[in-house]
């Protein structure tokens, strides 16, 4: 929990976007770039996540995602608490430097 009583919550965005046509590739790249500019980190190729300080901030970012959705494809959002995120088991590979940095930033809050 943060100093002001809010819980840290992770917002995950999963997507599967068409990329056969040039305009589809552009739309997919525009969506990925939006996520990166909005503070999401790439967990896997089409899985992005960001930490939010409380449900109000999470709702705000979810609305931002909804207003930047591509016209086609499949996009899903999922939220989990920071404690649940910490319990995630990595079966192959390791946490990225971005994931480690985000976790360390939480200590600063």
pLDDT digits (tens, 9 = 90+) for 30-44: 999 999 999 999 999
For β-strands 8-16 and 47-53, DSSP reports them as antiparallel
At 58, list the tokens.
Answer: 């999470």
| pLDDT tens for each residue of 70-81 | 999 999 999 999
Residue 106 has pLDDT above 60, yes or no: no
pLDDT of 1 above 50: no
List Cβ neighbours of 35 (8 Å cut-off, separation of 6 or more).
13, 48, 65
- Quote the pLDDT of residue 3: 47
Assess whether pLDDT exceeds 80 at residue 86.
yes
* pLDDT score of 107 more than 80: no
What is the dotted CATH code of the domain comprising 8-108? 3.30.70.240
| Structure-derived torsion over alpha carbons of residues 52, 53, 58, 60, reported in degrees to the nearest 10 | -110
């Amino acid at each position: 929990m943060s100093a002001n009583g809010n819980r840290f919550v992770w917002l995950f965005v999963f997507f599967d976007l068409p990329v056969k046509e040039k305009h589809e590739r552009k739309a997919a790249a525009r969506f990925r770039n939006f996520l990166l500019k909005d503070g999401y980190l790439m967990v896997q190729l089409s899985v992005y996540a960001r930490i939010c300080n409380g449900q109000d901030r999470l709702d705000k970012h979810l609305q931002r995602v909804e207003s930047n959705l591509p016209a086609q494809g499949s996009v899903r959002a999922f939220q989990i608490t920071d404690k649940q995120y910490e319990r995630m088991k990595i079966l192959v590979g390791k946490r990225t430097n971005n994931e480690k940095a985000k976790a360390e930033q939480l200590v600063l809050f």
